[in-house]
């Protein structure tokens, strides 16, 4: 990525930080907030169920933490969190959102290419909707290698990223949908072994559109999330994108 593109990406996220802290990092068009709350809940469930055996108090990296929505969930669950992001105004929102856990949280800017942490210093790392903005394969594998370096031996990397059936660049070159197979390949190239990948939801699932309009009562959200995963088990639909969770592991020694 050229310096110009890097600045364009940072400006994009800095601009979005003018919105409320959920619209800025999930769906800016969700004015009522239902869809963003639902998607944040899906993200949190997907992260937490992949971290069940990571001891409380361990240090986790929330890479591309944005306004700290996922970081707060990790802090509430009893872990320590380092949040890194390219956007200074979003990090400021994260500090505010996680102020109640200030003793266990640290938020800092990154250049988007490196992980400024010591070797073997984190028990697990997560990303949600971040690496899709890493368009170059070479830079992606380099960044994944940075995660591997910063993870303890055997440490876990959990990615929730958007995929398609075919590789596609979107949003004026800022974003790249990869296939699940490409994610497996890049993780392997960076030295990880991939435990599993799970399709969590499809972008245009009709239930989500109804939910966004306020037509799905809160009591049904959990059932809808289960239904989305059931549908996802059939794979990525040819006409849609899907949110996929990949769980990968750094080498043990
Ligand atoms: C869709 S938002 C998701 C925010 C957060 N992960 C969450 O769960 O709410 C994507 C975030 O990734 C950040 N980002 C994009 N590319 C990045 C990179 N190469 N390194 C670090 N952060 C990046 C953006 O600034 C933005 O905060």
Q: What is the pLDDT of residues 135-191, one digit of tens each?
A: 999 999 999 999 999 999 999 999 999 999 999 999 888 999 999 999 999 999 999
Residue 38: per-residue pLDDT: 94
**Exposed e or buried b for every residue in 72-96, given b needs 16+ CB within 10 A?**
bbbbeeebbbbbbbbbebbbebbbe
pLDDT classification of 30: cutoffs 50, 70, 90: confident
Check pocket membership of 85 for ligand 1, CB cut-off 6 A. yes
Q: Is the CB of 21 under 6 A from ligand 1?
A: no
SS3 63: strand
Element (H, E) at 226: helix 221-232
**Residue 243, pLDDT score:** 96
Q: Which two tokens stand for residue 14?
A: 């800095």
pLDDT on residue 84: 98
SS3 246: strand
CA-angle at 190, arms to 184 and 196, nearest 5°: 30
The pLDDT score that the predictor gives to residue 18 is 87
How confident is residue 24, by pLDDT bands cut at 50, 70 and 90? confident
Position 25 confidence tier, pLDDT thresholds 50, 70, 90:
confident
Residue-wise pLDDT for 71-117, tens only, equals 999 999 999 999 999 999 999 999 999 999 999 999 999 999 999 99
Average predicted confidence (pLDDT) for the chain: 94
Name the residue with the closest Cα to ligand 1, atom 15.
130
The reported pLDDT for the residue numbered 2 is 83
Average pLDDT over residues 229-251: 94
- How would residue 23 be classed by pLDDT, with cut points 50, 70 and 90? confident
pLDDT band at 31 (very low <50, low <70, confident <90, very high): confident
Atom of ligand 1 nearest to the CA of 90: 27
| Ligand 1, atom nearest to 133 Cα | 16
Q: What percent of the chain has pLDDT over 70?
A: 100
The finding on whether 211 has its CB within 6 A of some atom of ligand 1 is no
More confident residue, 12 or 127: 127
Q: Is residue 28 pLDDT above 80, yes or no?
A: yes
Residue 14: exposed, middle, or buried by beta-carbon count in 10 A (0-12, 13-18, 19+)?
middle
- Ligand 1: residue of 24, 90, 97, 130 to mutate (most ligand atoms within 8 A of CB) is 130
């Amino acid at each position: 990525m050229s310096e110009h593109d890097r600045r364009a990406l940072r400006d994009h996220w800095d601009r979005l930080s003018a919105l409320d802290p959920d619209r800025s990092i999930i769906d800016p068009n969700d004015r009522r907030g239902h869809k963003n709350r639902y998607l944040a809940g899906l993200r949190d469930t997907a992260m937490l169920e992949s971290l069940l055996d990571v001891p409380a108090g361990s240090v986790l990296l929330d890479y591309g933490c944005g306004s700290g929505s996922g970081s707060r969930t990790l802090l509430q669950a009893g872990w320590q969190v380092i949040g890194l992001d390219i956007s200074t105004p979003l990090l400021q929102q994260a500090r505010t959102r996680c102020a109640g856990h200030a003793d266990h949280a640290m938020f800092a800017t990154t250049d988007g290419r490196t992980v400024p942490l010591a070797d073997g210093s984190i028990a697990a790392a997560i990303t949600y909707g971040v690496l899709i903005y890493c368009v170059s394969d070479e830079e992606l594998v380099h960044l994944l290698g940075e995660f591997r370096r910063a993870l303890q031996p055997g440490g876990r990397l959990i990615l929730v990223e958007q995929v398609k059936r075919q590789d596609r660049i979107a949003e004026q070159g800022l974003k790249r949908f990869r296939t699940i197979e490409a994610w497996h390949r890049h993780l392997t190239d960076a030295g990880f072994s991939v435990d599993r990948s799970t399709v969590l939801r499809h972008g245009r699932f009709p239930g989500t559109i109804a939910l966004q309009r306020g037509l799905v009562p809160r009591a049904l959200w959990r059932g809808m999330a289960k239904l989305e995963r059931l549908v996802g088990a059939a794979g990525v639909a040819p006409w849609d994108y899907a949110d996929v969770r990949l769980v990968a592991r750094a080498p043990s020694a």
